[in-house]
Structure 1
Amino acid sequence: MEAAQTDLHSPKGCCQGAITNATHPKSPSRPKLVSSLLFAGVMMFSHLGSTAVVSFVLIRAAAAQNPYDASLLGPQNAPSGAPSSDDDLLGNDLLAENLPGEDLLGGDLTGGDLSGDDLLGGQASPNDDLLGQNLLGGDALGDDLLGGGAASDDPLAGMGSSEPIKPKAPKKSNQPSPTDPHVGLWTEGSYPSADTCRACHPKHYDEWSASSHAYATLSPMFHRFEQAITELTQGTVGVFCMRCHSPVATQLQIPRTVSMLDQPAVAREGVTCIACHRINEHYGRSNGDRRIEPGDIHAPVGSGGHGHGLYEALEKAGKYKLKTHESQTGAGQKIHNGSFFFEPLTKTDVCVSCHQVAVHPGIWLEVVHGQYRAGPASKRGVSCQDCHMGAVPGKDLGYEECHMAELGGKPYGKPSKHSNHTFWGPGYSIAHPGVFPHNPKAKKYSPRQWLTFDDRAGWGTKTFEDNVPQGTYFPEPWEEADDRIDARKVIDENIAKAERKRGVAAMTLESAAKVSAPVFYTTPRIGVPLRVGYRVDNASDGHNLPTGSLGAQPQLWLNAVLIDPTGRRVWETGYLDSNADLADMHSVDVAQGRVPRDKGLFNLQTKFLINNVRGTDREAALPLNYSLDQLVFLRPGAVPVSVLNHPPLIRMEAHSIAPLDHRMAKYTIPASAFRVPGSYRLSVRMRSRTEPMYFMRLVGSTPDMMRRMNENMIDICHSSHTFEVR
Structure 2
Amino acid sequence: MAVVIALTCLAAISDFSNGSVAIAQNPHWQSSNGKRADAYRSTGTPYRLALRPDKDVSEQDDLLGGGDLSGDDLLGGNDLVGGDDLLGRNDLLSGGDLLDQGFGGDDPLSQFSAAVPEPIKQAPSAPDPHEKLWTENCYPSAESCRACHPGHYDEWRSSGHAYAAVSPMFNRFEQAMTELTQGTVGSFCVRCHSPVQTQLKIPRHASILDAPPVVREGVTCIACHRVREHYWRGSNGDRRIEPGDIHAPVGGATGGHGLATALSQSEKLKLKPAAGQTGPGQDIHGSSYFFEPLKNSDICVSCHQVAVHPGIFLEVVHGQYRNGPAAAKGISCADCHMGAVPGKPAGYECGTIAELSGKPYGEPKKRSYHGFWGPGYSIAHPGIFPLNHKAKDYSPREWLEFDYEAGWGTEEFERNVPPGMHFPAPWDNTDDRRDGRKVIDENLAKAHEKRSNAVMTMEAGLKVKGPHFITKPRAGQGMTISYRVENSSEGHNLPTGSLGAQPQLWLNVALIDPTGKRVWESGYLDRNADLADMHSVEVAKHRIPRDKDLFNLQTKFLINNVRGTDREAALPLNFSLDQLVFLRPGAVPVSVLNHPPLIRMEAHSIAPLDHRNPKFHIPASAMQRRGTYRLSVRMRNRTEPMYFMRQIGCTPDMIRRMNENMLDLCTSSHTFMVK
Alignment TM-score, normalising by the size of structure 1: 0.79
Q: Which amino acid is the alignment partner of residue 624 of structure 1? A: L
The yes-or-no answer on 1:214 pairing with 2:181 is: no
Q: Which amino acid is the alignment partner of residue 580 of structure 1? A: A
The equivalent residue for 2:199 is 251
The yes-or-no answer on 1:297 pairing with 2:246 is: yes
What are the superposed Cα offsets for residues 300-327 of structure 1, whole Å, 9 maximum, x if unpaired?
A: 1000011111111111111111111111
CA contact (8 A) 1:118 1:154 kept: no
* Residue from 557, 564, 580 that aligns with 2:529: 580
The separation in 1 between residues aligned to 2:553 and 2:205, in whole angstroms, is: 37
Unaligned segments of structure 1, at least 5 residues: 1-103, 122-138
* Residue from 10, 20, 26 that aligns with 1:141: 26
The separation in 2 between residues aligned to 1:321 and 1:590, in whole angstroms, is: 68
* Residue from 270, 283, 286 that aligns with 2:218: 270
Residue 116 and residue 586 in structure 1: after superposition, are their counterparts in 2 closer, same or farther (change >3 A)? Answer: closer
Q: Which amino acid is the alignment partner of residue 194 of structure 1? A: A
The equivalent residue for 1:224 is 172
The separation in 2 between residues aligned to 1:497 and 1:183, in whole angstroms, is: 32
The separation in 2 between residues aligned to 1:358 and 1:452, in whole angstroms, is: 38
The equivalent residue for 2:232 is 284
The equivalent residue for 2:668 is 719
The equivalent residue for 1:80 is none
CA contact (8 A) 2:629 2:673 kept: yes
The yes-or-no answer on 1:693 pairing with 2:642 is: yes
SS at match of 1:517: strand
The yes-or-no answer on 1:679 pairing with 2:609 is: no
The separation in 2 between residues aligned to 1:464 and 1:691, in whole angstroms, is: 34
* Residue from 258, 278, 300 that aligns with 1:351: 300
SS at match of 1:456: helix
The yes-or-no answer on 1:395 pairing with 2:344 is: yes
SS at match of 1:240: coil
The equivalent residue for 1:459 is 408
CA contact (8 A) 1:148 1:570 kept: no
Shift of 1:472: 3.2
CA contact (8 A) 1:537 1:660 kept: yes
* Residue from 141, 150, 153 that aligns with 1:202: 150
The equivalent residue for 1:79 is none
Aligned ranges 1:287-686 → 2 under 5 Å = 287-469=236-418, 471-625=420-574, 628-638=577-587, 646-686=595-635
The equivalent residue for 1:7 is none
* Residue from 208, 213, 218 that aligns with 1:260: 208
The equivalent residue for 1:51 is none
What are the superposed Cα offsets for residues 694-716 of structure 1, whole Å, 9 maximum, x if unpaired?
A: 01001100000011101010001
Residue 638 and residue 418 in structure 1: after superposition, are their counterparts in 2 closer, same or farther (change >3 A)? Answer: closer
Q: Which amino acid is the alignment partner of residue 21 of structure 2? A: L
The separation in 2 between residues aligned to 1:445 and 1:607, in whole angstroms, is: 41
SS at match of 1:536: strand
CA contact (8 A) 1:612 1:628 kept: no
Quote the RMSD (CA, aligned, Å). 2.5
CA contact (8 A) 1:183 1:264 kept: no
Shift of 1:442: 0.2
What are the superposed Cα offsets for residues 161-213 of structure 1, whole Å, 9 maximum, x if unpaired?
A: xxx9899xx9xx9x979544334212101100001000000000000000000
Shift of 1:156: 4.9
CA contact (8 A) 2:10 2:667 kept: no
The separation in 2 between residues aligned to 1:645 and 1:233, in whole angstroms, is: 20
CA contact (8 A) 1:514 1:536 kept: yes
Residue 105 and residue 716 in structure 1: after superposition, are their counterparts in 2 closer, same or farther (change >3 A)? Answer: same
Unaligned segments of structure 2, at least 5 residues: 1-7, 47-64, 72-76, 78-105, 115-128
Shift of 1:467: 1.2
The separation in 2 between residues aligned to 1:610 and 1:177, in whole angstroms, is: 39
CA contact (8 A) 1:120 1:157 kept: no
Shift of 1:114: 1.5
Q: Percent identity?
A: 67
The separation in 2 between residues aligned to 1:428 and 1:391, in whole angstroms, is: 20
CA contact (8 A) 1:156 1:580 kept: no
CA contact (8 A) 2:270 2:281 kept: yes
The separation in 2 between residues aligned to 1:274 and 1:252, in whole angstroms, is: 14
CA contact (8 A) 1:191 1:296 kept: yes
The equivalent residue for 1:184 is 131
Residue 158 and residue 309 in structure 1: after superposition, are their counterparts in 2 closer, same or farther (change >3 A)? Answer: farther
CA contact (8 A) 2:348 2:366 kept: yes
Shift of 1:157: 4.6
The separation in 1 between residues aligned to 2:34 and 2:363, in whole angstroms, is: 60
CA contact (8 A) 2:230 2:299 kept: yes
Q: Which amino acid is the alignment partner of residue 630 of structure 2? A: R
The separation in 2 between residues aligned to 1:550 and 1:650, in whole angstroms, is: 14
The separation in 2 between residues aligned to 1:288 and 1:593, in whole angstroms, is: 44
Comparing 202-211 with 148-157, greater Cα deviation is found at 148-157
Aligned ranges 1:17-36 → 2 under 5 Å = none
